[in-house]
Amino acid sequence: MPNNTLTKKVLIFLLLALLICLFANINQLVGLFTRDYPTDPQRLHRMLMFRNRLIWEMILSFIISFAIVSYNAGLFKLGKENKKTSQATIVAISITAGLLFFFFLIITFLPERRIPSRFFFMLLSKALFVIMAAIAAGQLYRLIWQKQQVEIENEKLKTDSLQSRYQGLMNQLNPHFLFNSLNSLAYLIRENEQDKALTFIDELSSIFRYVLQKRSNELVTLEEEIQFTEAYRFLLSIRFENKLFFEIKIDEKDMQRLLPFLTLQPLIENAVKHNVISSKQPLAIFIYTEEGELVVSNPVSAKRPDGESTGIGLSNLASRFKLLTGKQISVVHTESTFLVKIPLIAKK
């Protein structure tokens, strides 16, 4: 992969050098290709000399352009900024080296060692154009690359931050879930319900198996959450015999839609925690889908509060949902009903 990236960069710099070379010699190229070849031997000889000189100038322009573009773009150091060499120094070195190299090759290879004054200044202006254009192209490439790297780094930091916040919320949720489950088990043990306690442990192990297997998945299918809910409902039914009822109606087409891992558990826990559950006042929890949303509702029979509710379960779910999907859950709380709507995500 790094070799492919380097090859692409070299090809880009070669293309930039070729364009600079063509622009620097465009007038002479047009004149050469539009002019008819003379029949006079002397004029023909001068025209051939002009053509050969133009070929050498284009070769030199191409070599210098490629070298300067590559140096200013940092071809071999694109991942590490050179802290010792400033950009001003790089530009100065490019100009100096470009001029020296350009005229050294001209003096060495051109057959006409004695360069007329007018021709000298023409070459000087061409050399300056090639050098400045190559510096500008290289610096522009460097700036574009640096901008892309900053965007990639920002996106990575954003992803890492979201992952860290999400993991923090999950760490907050799991002890809360464990605490409530152990309370239920302790209740059965105190009541000497050994058979139910053993069954409770079996179902609890299946629940934690789901938690351990799926906790690395930010999103799970609604079908998986419903299966988890069935096991969780069994645990609650042992604790609240004939006092807690569930009605689950899920459209088959919604079963493969996605939602955050452990969405239903805190909603059920919230209903159990904040409502009276007794033989005289049994609690019903309704779970169903409607217009692409998962709806969880229950009639309100609020307990007398022992203290101010922290609301950690619902706020945790809302935070996780927003982090993962960018959407908000909808909460409707009236005197008679508590209802939460969760948008389901289509599986790609």
- Average pLDDT on 120-144 reads 78
At 34 the pLDDT is 67
Band (pLDDT 50/70/90 cuts) for residue 330 is very high
Residues 149-171 have pLDDT tens digits of 778 777 765 665 566 455 555 55
More confident residue, 84 or 256: 256
pLDDT of residue 305 exceeding 80: no
Looking at residue 82, its pLDDT comes to 46
Confidence band of 177 (pLDDT split at 50, 70, 90): low
Concatenating the DSSP letter of every residue in 12-77 gives HHHHHHHHHHHHHTHHHHHHHHHSPPPSSHHHHHHHHHHHHHHHHHHHHHHHHHHHHHHHHHTTT-
pTM to 2 decimal places: 0.52
The answer, yes or no, to whether residue 99 has pLDDT greater than 60, is: yes
What does the domain layout of the chain look like in residue ranges?
2-155, 193-343
pLDDT-derived band at 78, boundaries 50, 70, 90: very low
Residue 32 confidence class, pLDDT cut points 50, 70, 90 = low
What's residue 258's pLDDT? 93
Contact yes or no for 176/312 (Cβ under 8 A): yes
pLDDT band at 125 (very low <50, low <70, confident <90, very high): confident
Reduced to 3 states, what is the DSSP secondary structure of residue 195? helix
- When pLDDT is cut at 50, 70 and 90, the band that residue 308 belongs to is very low
When comparing pLDDT for 67 and 110, which is higher? Answer: 67
Using CA atoms, how far apart are residues 215 and 209, in angstroms rounded to an integer?
10
pLDDT at residue 24 tops 90: no
Both tokens of residue 258? 């996605």
- Decide: helix, strand or coil at residue 299: strand
- The fraction of the chain above a pLDDT of 70, given in percent, is 73
Q: What average pLDDT does the chain have?
A: 77
Cα angle: 171, vertex 177, 183; to 5 degrees: 135
Tens digit of pLDDT for each residue in 247-291?
999 999 999 999 988 889 889 988 988 899 988 899 999 999 998
Q: Name residue 337's beta-bridge partners.
A: 299
Spelled out in words, what is the top-level CATH class assigned to the domain 193-343? alpha beta
Residue 299 scores a pLDDT above 90: yes
CB 316 within 8 A of CB 171: no
